[in-house]
Structure 1
Amino acid sequence: MNINNVYFPTWEKDLDWGGNSGESTLARIPSYITHVTLSFLRPDLEGFDLNKDMNRLFYDGNIPLYKLKDEIFYCKKNGGNSRVVLASVGGEIAGNFDKVNYCNLVDSIIGLGLDGIDIDYEPNGVMTQTEDEVNRYCTIISSLRYEFDKRSKITGKKYLISCAPTGVGLFSKDKFEKNSNKYLDVISRLKGIVPIDEQGEELKIGVLGDDNILKQPNYFVGSLASVFNFDSAGKMLDVFLMVNKGNSLNDYQFIGQMVDIVFYQAYNIGSGNILSRIMCYEEHRELSDYFNSVKDGSGFIIGHGSHVGKEAWPHFSFTKKRMGYIYTYINKFGRNGDGASFWSYFSSVEDSSDYLPNYGMGYKKNYELFKHVSSLLDIEGVTD
Structure 2
Amino acid sequence: MKQHLSVDDNILSSKKKLCNFVKNSTAAGLLFLTIFSSCKKSDVGNPQSGDQSLSNSKTQVNFERNTNPSLSKPITIGYYPSWTEGWLNEDGKSAFTTLPTAVTHVFFAFAKPNLKYVKGSYNISTANTGLECYQATEGGQMLKRAVGILKQRGITVILSLGGETYWRAPENFNDINYQQIKDFVDDIGFGGIDWDFEPNGSFSESGNAANVAYLTRFITESRKLMPKSAGYIIATAPVGSGAIGGLNNDDAASPFAYSKRNTVTGEPDTYLYSATDGTKSISLFGFSSTGAMIPVIKSAGDKLDIIAYQAYNIGAAPNRKLMYDSYAYYANIYGFQLAHGTHVPNEPWGPYFEHTPQFEADLAKYIHDGGSQSRAGKNDGIMIWNLALLSAKGTNYTGVTYLNVAKKVLNGQSTSAALANAFDYKNEVPVIPTDPTNPTNPTNPGTGGCGIAAYNAANPYPTPGTKVYYNSKIFKNKWYVNPNEVPEANQWGPWEFVENCAK
TM range, smaller chain: 0.7 to 0.9
Structure 1 residue 140 and structure 2 residue 183: aligned? no
Structure 1 residue 170 and structure 2 residue 231: aligned? no
CA distance in 2, matches of 1:21, 1:37: 24
Count, aligned residues = 319
Partner of 2:158: 86
Q: 1:290 is matched by which residue type in structure 2?
A: I
Q: 1:258 is matched by which residue type in structure 2?
A: K
* Structure 2 CA distance for partners of 1:214 and 1:283, relative to 1, 3 Å: closer
Alpha-carbon contact 1:209-1:229 (below 8 Å) kept: no
* Structure 2 CA distance for partners of 1:368 and 1:160, relative to 1, 3 Å: closer
Deviations 1:200-238 (A, max 9, x none): xxxx643335266562xxxx6242211233211112101
Deviations 1:310-368 (A, max 9, x none): 222110111112112211111123432101000111123104xxxxxxxxx75544433
1:318 to 346, 351, 355: 355
Structure 1 residue 31 and structure 2 residue 104: aligned? no
Partner of 1:230: 287
CA distance in 1, matches of 2:313, 2:114: 27
Q: 1:344 is matched by which residue type in structure 2?
A: N
Structure 1 residue 368 and structure 2 residue 401: aligned? yes
CA distance in 2, matches of 1:290, 1:365: 34
1:11 aligns to what SS in structure 2?
helix
* Structure 2 CA distance for partners of 1:142 and 1:221, relative to 1, 3 Å: same
C-alpha displacement at 1:281, in angstroms?
0.8
Partner of 1:266: 311
Structure 2 unmatched ranges of 5 or more: 1-72, 251-256, 414-420, 428-503
CA distance in 1, matches of 2:237, 2:91: 30
1:2 to 61, 65, 74: 74
Deviations 1:274-324 (A, max 9, x none): x2x211111111101112xxxxxxx10111100111222110111112112
For 1:93-108, list aligned pairs within 5 A: 93-95=165-167, 97-108=173-184
C-alpha displacement at 1:74, in angstroms?
0.5
Partner of 2:322: 279
CA distance in 1, matches of 2:149, 2:239: 31
C-alpha displacement at 1:379, in angstroms?
7.7
1:11 to 53, 71, 83: 83
C-alpha displacement at 1:51, in angstroms?
4.0
CA distance in 1, matches of 2:116, 2:399: 35
Alpha-carbon contact 2:344-2:398 (below 8 Å) kept: no
Using the size of structure 1 for normalisation, the TM-score is 0.77
Structure 1 residue 207 and structure 2 residue 268: aligned? yes
Alpha-carbon contact 2:161-2:195 (below 8 Å) kept: yes
Structure 1 unmatched ranges of 5 or more: 184-203, 243-254, 292-298, 352-360
C-alpha displacement at 1:53, in angstroms?
3.8
* Structure 2 CA distance for partners of 1:257 and 1:213, relative to 1, 3 Å: closer
1:331 to 343, 368, 380: 368
Deviations 1:32-51 (A, max 9, x none): 21111100111112233444
C-alpha displacement at 1:138, in angstroms?
0.8
Partner of 1:58: 130
* Structure 2 CA distance for partners of 1:24 and 1:379, relative to 1, 3 Å: farther
Partner of 2:35: none
CA distance in 2, matches of 1:363, 1:214: 29
CA distance in 2, matches of 1:73, 1:373: 25
1:60 aligns to what SS in structure 2?
coil
Structure 1 residue 68 and structure 2 residue 143: aligned? yes
CA distance in 2, matches of 1:54, 1:45: 10
Q: 2:194 is matched by which residue type in structure 1?
A: D
* Structure 2 CA distance for partners of 1:208 and 1:325, relative to 1, 3 Å: farther
More helix by percentage: 1
CA distance in 1, matches of 2:289, 2:194: 19
Q: 2:141 is matched by which residue type in structure 1?
A: Y
Partner of 2:185: 109
Alpha-carbon contact 1:306-1:340 (below 8 Å) kept: yes
CA distance in 1, matches of 2:391, 2:106: 19
Alpha-carbon contact 1:331-1:376 (below 8 Å) kept: yes
CA distance in 1, matches of 2:388, 2:274: 33
Alpha-carbon contact 1:206-1:226 (below 8 Å) kept: no
Deviations 1:83-139 (A, max 9, x none): 321000111212252321111011111111111000011102115231111111111
Alpha-carbon contact 1:320-1:363 (below 8 Å) kept: no
Alpha-carbon contact 2:242-2:289 (below 8 Å) kept: yes
Alpha-carbon contact 1:163-1:264 (below 8 Å) kept: yes
Structure 1 residue 122 and structure 2 residue 158: aligned? no
Alpha-carbon contact 2:162-2:196 (below 8 Å) kept: yes
1:289 aligns to what SS in structure 2?
helix
C-alpha displacement at 1:369, in angstroms?
1.9
CA distance in 1, matches of 2:380, 2:224: 25
> What is the percentage of aligned positions where both structures have the same residue?
26
CA distance in 1, matches of 2:121, 2:267: 54
Q: 2:158 is matched by which residue type in structure 1?
A: L
CA distance in 2, matches of 1:72, 1:40: 15
Q: 1:3 is matched by which residue type in structure 2?
A: I
CA distance in 1, matches of 2:397, 2:184: 37
Alpha-carbon contact 1:307-1:343 (below 8 Å) kept: yes
Alpha-carbon contact 2:76-2:103 (below 8 Å) kept: yes
Using the size of structure 2 for normalisation, the TM-score is 0.59
CA distance in 1, matches of 2:91, 2:185: 20
Alpha-carbon contact 2:112-2:162 (below 8 Å) kept: yes
2:368 aligns to what SS in structure 1?
helix
Alpha-carbon contact 2:388-2:398 (below 8 Å) kept: no
CA distance in 1, matches of 2:352, 2:236: 25
